[in-house]
Amino acid sequence: MNKLLLILLVTTAQLSFGQDLLSLLNEESDGPKIVNSIFKDSRVVNAQSTKQSSKGEFKFLIQHRFGTLNSGFYNLWGIDNSQVRMGLDYGISDRIAVSVGRSSTNKQYDASVKGKLLNQTDKSPVVVSVFSAVFVAHPSEFLRQQTDYDFLNQISFANQLIVARKFSSKFSALILPTHIHLNTFESGTSADPLFFGLGGRYKLSKRVTVNAEYFHALSDMVEAHKNMLSVGFDIETGGHVFSLHLSNSRGMNEHTFLTQTTGDILEGDIYFGFNISRVFQW
C-alpha cells in the first residue's frame, strides 16, 4: 500500500512538472519572434544600419577611400591617393553599443553610441534604432597659432533615427532622418542641416549582397555641395565582412559624407573604397 502510494505521488509530480514545462514552452512559442540578419554589417556602405555589436562583442573596422576614378592613369585612377578610418565598436548590452574612431580626413576623431529601441518581430513591422555621435578635428599647429582660433569650432555632432524593415529573406531597406550640428559653418548655410537618407541591401547569394544608400540635403548647403550616393557589395567570410563600393563622397563619418561631399558623379568624381570588419568576443 505504501509502495503504491509512493508510485502515485511520483507519477503525479512528474505529470505536474511535465505540464508546467509544456506550459512554459507554449508561452515562449506564443511570444514575439525576432527577425534577424536585417543587415549583415553595422554600415550599409558609409551610413549606419540597424546592425550593432552584441553584448561583450568587439568589432574592429578599417575603411579605405581612394581618389577619384577620373584622376587618370598617372594616379592609377585614384589608387595612389588613399585615406583611412579605423574604428572600434563594443557592445555594452544587446541594445546599446559604443564606438570610437579616427579618420585621416581632417585628422578627425569620432565617438558614438547606437541604441536599439525596437526589434522587428511578427508583431512589429520595423526595427528602430537611434545613433548619436561627436566629431573632433585635430587642428594643425599653424591653425592653433591663429589669433581667431577656437577649439569649439573643431567640434560637430550628429543625431540619427534608423528605421529598417526586412521585407523578405533577400531584401531589406531603411530610412535615416539625420541632424548635424556644426559649430562653424559658411554664411548662407545652416548650423543645423537636416538630411533624409535611404538605403537597402539585396542578397545575391548566401554570403554576397549588393548595397546602396542616398542622402538628400533638406537645408541650405554651400553651392558646391552634392547629395551623397554610394553603391557596393558586401562579402561575408566567417568573422569578416568585406565591402567594395563606389561613392561620390570620400568621407567616412556622418559629418564629412553629409556636409562635405562635392563629387559630381556625371563628371566622374567617383571614389573607390572598401571596408573590412572583424568581430571578436570578449
In a domain, 13, yes or no: no
- Average pLDDT, stretch 182-188? 89
Task: Give tens-digit pLDDT for 140-177.
Answer: 888 888 888 888 999 999 999 999 999 999 999 999 99
In a domain, 128, yes or no: yes
Q: Range of 226's domain?
A: 40-249+262-281
How many domains does the chain fold into? 1
In a domain, 254, yes or no: no
* Cα distances (Å, whole numbers) of residue 178 to 192, 194, 195, 275: 10, 6, 5, 22
Q: Which of 14-18, 124-128, 261-265 has the lowest mean pLDDT?
A: 14-18
pLDDT band at 38 (very low <50, low <70, confident <90, very high): very high
Predicted local confidence at residue 7, as pLDDT: 39
| Ordered DSSP codes for 203-264 | E-SSSEEEEEEEEEE-S---TT----EEEEEEEEETTEEEEEEEES----SHHHHHHS----
In a domain, 17, yes or no: no
19 pLDDT more than 90: no
pTM of the model: 0.85
In a domain, 9, yes or no: no
In a domain, 201, yes or no: yes
Task: Give tens-digit pLDDT for 47-73.
Answer: 999 999 999 999 999 999 999 999 888
Predicted local confidence at residue 30, as pLDDT: 60
In a domain, 33, yes or no: no
Contact (CB, 8 A) for 171 and 200: yes
CA–CA dist 136, 224 (Å, integer) = 23
Domain containing 88 — which CATH number? 2.40.160.40
In a domain, 192, yes or no: yes
